[in-house]
Amino acid sequence: MNIFLKLTLDCEPDAAWEAITRPEVFRAVSSPLLKMASLEPGGFPPNWLGDGPHLVKISLLGIIPMGTQTIDVRFTEKPGGVRMMIDSGQALTGPLAITRNWDHRMAISSAGSQKTMYRDRLVVKAGLATPAIWLGMWVFWQYRASRLRVLSSSW
């Protein structure tokens, strides 16, 4: 099932691109609903580099363990000045570990007049559990959207 966001952010595309490539921003748009902690030696890098999977631990409200997952990003550019970050990581433990497919893509392009068009798509498949996983992720994606709108004005 698909979840799709299309937002106009109040910042320049270069600032939005820099932001989505920083683990600090990834954590900020998830917080305080979900807390992310790096399980890698040295913790989170300053920027995602596309250099292989990064292991993280997730907790709900910083209290309830939700499991571990990898974040495995790569970068590409599409025609029309669209920059894309693709996360093909996967849940390893916890409720999301039942997912068979996780395809998360974030795209940044100009929306004119110092604005950014941000598109965020998640395709998730978990067999018979897909509708339940989709509902939980849809709620979380709406939360992410609200946090992105708020934070983007400071990028």
Domain ranges of the chain: 2-152
In single-letter form, the type of residue at position 92 comes to L
Return the percentage of the chain with pLDDT > 70, whole number.
100
This prediction's pTM:
0.89
Helix or strand run (H / E) with residue 143: helix 130-152
Averaged over 78-83, what is the pLDDT? 94
Averaged over 33-59, what is the pLDDT? 94
Q: Is the pLDDT of residue 85 over 90?
A: yes
Q: Where are the beta strands (DSSP E) in 39-81?
A: 54-60, 64-71, 73-78
Q: Is the pLDDT of residue 96 over 90?
A: no
CATH fold for the domain made of 2-152: Alpha-D-Glucose-1,6-Bisphosphate; Chain A, domain 4 (3.30.530)
